[in-house]
Structure 1
Amino acid sequence: MLWKTTLLQFAALSSVHANTIATSNHARSDQLRWGACDVDDPSLQCANLTVPMDYTDPDSDATIQLHLLKVPAVRTPKKGSILFNFGGPGLEARHSLAGLSKRILALTGGDYDLIAHDPRGVAKTFTASCFNTSEERMAGPYAAMSSVADPEDRLALSTLWGASLALGNACYDYPSFQDKGPNLGTVFTARDLMQIVDAVEGDGLLRYWGLSYGTALGATVAAMFPDRIDRMILDSVVNPHQFYNYYDTEIWADADMVFSSFIKECLKAPEHCGFSHRNSTAFDIEKDIYNMIDSLKTEALAAGDQVVDSAIVRSFIRFSLYSPSSYSYLSRALDLLLSNNAAGFMEIYNENLAEGFLATVAQDESAFAIPCSDKIAPQQTFTELGEIFTELNGESRLLGSSGSGLAMICANWRFQAKERYTGNFESKTKHPLLVIGNRYDSATALRCAQNVTASFEDSVLVEHGGFGHGSWSQGSACTSKIIRSYFAEGTLPEYGTICEPDYGPFEPKTIDDVLKDIGFMDGE
Structure 2
Amino acid sequence: MSWMRTLLPLSLALSAYATNHSRADGNITWGPCETEIEAGATIPLQCGNITVPLDYTDTKSDATLDVQVLKVPTDKTPKKGSIIFNFGGPGLEARTTLAQAAELLQTLTGGHYDLIANDPRGTANTLTFSCYENDTIRLSSFDQARFEEFAGPADKMALGRLWASASLVTQACHEHAESKERGELIGTAFTARDIMQIVDAVEDDGLLRFWGLSYGTVLGSTLAVMFPDRIDRIVIDGVMNPHEYYNSYDVEVIADTDAAFAQFIKECINAPEKCTLATHNSTATSLEKSIYQLLDTLKYQPIAYEGTIIDYGSIITIIRTTLNTPASWPTLSAALDSLLSRNLTQFLAIQASMNSPYASANMNEAVYGIHCADKKPGKHTFNEVLPTVSTLSNQSALMGQVGNPLSMLATQWKLEAKERYTGDFRAKTKHPMLVIGNTYDPTTPLRSARNISESFEGSIVLEHGGYGHCTLQHGSVCTGKAIQNYFNDGTLPKAGTFCEAAYPPFANMSWNDLLPKLGSNKTAN
TM-score w.r.t. the length of structure 2 is 0.93
**Residue 149 in 1 paired to residue 151 in 2?**
yes
**Could you give the per-residue CA deviations for residues 19-66 of structure 1, whole angstroms, max 9, x where no partner exists?**
6445999987xx321111112257211111111111111111221110
**Whole-Å Cα distance in 1 between the matches of residues 282 and 229 of structure 2?**
56
Runs of 5+ consecutive residues of structure 2 not aligned to the other structure: 1-10
Question: Structure 1 residues 204, 257: closer, same or farther in 2, change over 3 A?
Answer: same
AA partner of residue 158 (structure 2): A
Aligned twin of 2:292: 290
Question: Structure 1 residues 306, 440: closer, same or farther in 2, change over 3 A?
Answer: same
Aligned twin of 1:113: 114
**Whole-Å Cα distance in 2 between the matches of residues 125 and 459 of structure 1?**
33
Aligned twin of 2:218: 216
AA partner of residue 16 (structure 1): L
**Could you give the per-residue CA deviations for residues 450-474 of structure 1, whole angstroms, max 9, x where no partner exists?**
1111110000000111000010111
Describe the SS at the equivalent of 2:163.
Answer: helix
Q: 1:171 aligns with which of 162, 170, 173?
A: 173
Aligned twin of 1:496: 496
Describe the SS at the equivalent of 1:340.
Answer: coil
Aligned twin of 2:403: 403
**Whole-Å Cα distance in 1 between the matches of residues 322 and 205 of structure 2?**
42
Percent identity, please.
47
**Whole-Å Cα distance in 1 between the matches of residues 97 and 211 of structure 2?**
13
Aligned twin of 2:7: none
**Whole-Å Cα distance in 2 between the matches of residues 88 and 24 of structure 1?**
28
**Whole-Å Cα distance in 1 between the matches of residues 343 and 378 of structure 2?**
44
**Residue 36 in 1 paired to residue 37 in 2?**
no
**Could you give the per-residue CA deviations for residues 470-506 of structure 1, whole angstroms, max 9, x where no partner exists?**
1011100000000000000000000000001000011
8 Å CA contact 1:16–1:421 kept in 2: the answer is no
Question: Structure 1 residues 146, 25: closer, same or farther in 2, change over 3 A?
Answer: closer
Aligned twin of 1:132: 133
TM-superposed deviation, 1:137: 1.9
**Could you give the per-residue CA deviations for residues 205-252 of structure 1, whole angstroms, max 9, x where no partner exists?**
000000000000000010011000000000011000111110000010
**Residue 201 in 1 paired to residue 203 in 2?**
yes
Larger deviation, residues 144-153 vs 431-440: 144-153
Q: 1:241 aligns with which of 243, 257, 261?
A: 243
TM-superposed deviation, 1:306: 2.2
Aligned twin of 1:5: none
Q: CA RMSD in A?
A: 2.0
**Residue 16 in 1 paired to residue 17 in 2?**
no
**Could you give the per-residue CA deviations for residues 365-421 of structure 1, whole angstroms, max 9, x where no partner exists?**
110011101111022211111110111111101112111111111111111111110
**Whole-Å Cα distance in 1 between the matches of residues 290 and 301 of structure 2?**
16
**Whole-Å Cα distance in 2 between the matches of residues 26 and 67 of structure 1?**
15
Aligned twin of 1:424: 424
8 Å CA contact 1:476–1:502 kept in 2: the answer is yes
**Residue 90 in 1 paired to residue 91 in 2?**
yes
Describe the SS at the equivalent of 1:506.
Answer: coil
Describe the SS at the equivalent of 1:388.
Answer: helix
Aligned twin of 1:470: 470
AA partner of residue 319 (structure 2): I
AA partner of residue 197 (structure 1): V
TM-score w.r.t. the length of structure 1 is 0.93
TM-superposed deviation, 1:18: 5.0
Describe the SS at the equivalent of 2:501.
Answer: coil
Question: Structure 1 residues 24, 305: closer, same or farther in 2, change over 3 A?
Answer: closer
Question: Structure 1 residues 50, 24: closer, same or farther in 2, change over 3 A?
Answer: closer
Describe the SS at the equivalent of 1:276.
Answer: helix
8 Å CA contact 1:121–1:127 kept in 2: the answer is yes
AA partner of residue 141 (structure 1): F
**Residue 519 in 1 paired to residue 515 in 2?**
no
Aligned residues: 508
Larger deviation, residues 132-141 vs 16-25: 16-25
8 Å CA contact 1:89–1:213 kept in 2: the answer is yes
**Whole-Å Cα distance in 1 between the matches of residues 207 and 353 of structure 2?**
44
Aligned twin of 1:103: 104
**Whole-Å Cα distance in 1 between the matches of residues 23 and 388 of structure 2?**
48
TM-superposed deviation, 1:302: 2.1
Runs of 5+ consecutive residues of structure 1 not aligned to the other structure: 1-12
**Whole-Å Cα distance in 2 between the matches of residues 241 and 357 of structure 1?**
24
